[in-house]
Amino acid sequence: MSAQAQKPMSEIRKELRIKWYRCPIDPSVLRELSKPSDLQGFKMALGHLGLWLLTGSLSFYFAVEQLWLGFLLMIFLHGTVGTFFSAPHHELCHGMVFKTKHLNEIFLRIFSTLGLQNFHIYKMSHSYHHRFTLHRIADKEVVLPKTPSLKFLYLLQLFTFNITGGFESRGLFPMMRGLFRVAADRMEHPYNEWGTELYAEFPEERLKAVHWARYLIAVHLSFAVFAVLIGYPILILIVSLHPFIGNWLRYFVGAPMHCGLRSDVSDFRKCVRTIILDPISEFLYWHMNWHLEHHMFAAVPCYNLKKLYEAVAEDMPKPRTLISSWQEMLAVVKQQEADPAYEFDTPVPPQRTRKEKEQQLELEASIGDLAPTAIA
- The 10s digit of each residue's pLDDT in 309-325 is 999 999 999 999 999 99
pLDDT at 362: 66
Q: Which helix (H) or strand (E) holds 224?
A: helix 203-229
Cis peptide upstream of residue 148 (ω within 30 degrees of 0): no
Based on DSSP, count helices (H) and strands (E) in the chain, helices before strands.
Answer: 18, 2
CA dihedral 156→162→164→167, nearest 10 degrees, is 80
User: How large a percentage of the chain has pLDDT more than 90?
Assistant: 91
Cβ partners under 8 Å of residue 192, min gap 6: 125, 140, 141, 142, 143
pLDDT at 5: 46
pLDDT band at 364 (very low <50, low <70, confident <90, very high): confident
Q: Hey, CA dihedral for 45, 48, 54, 58, is it positive or negative?
A: negative
pLDDT tens for 49-65 read 999 999 999 999 999 99
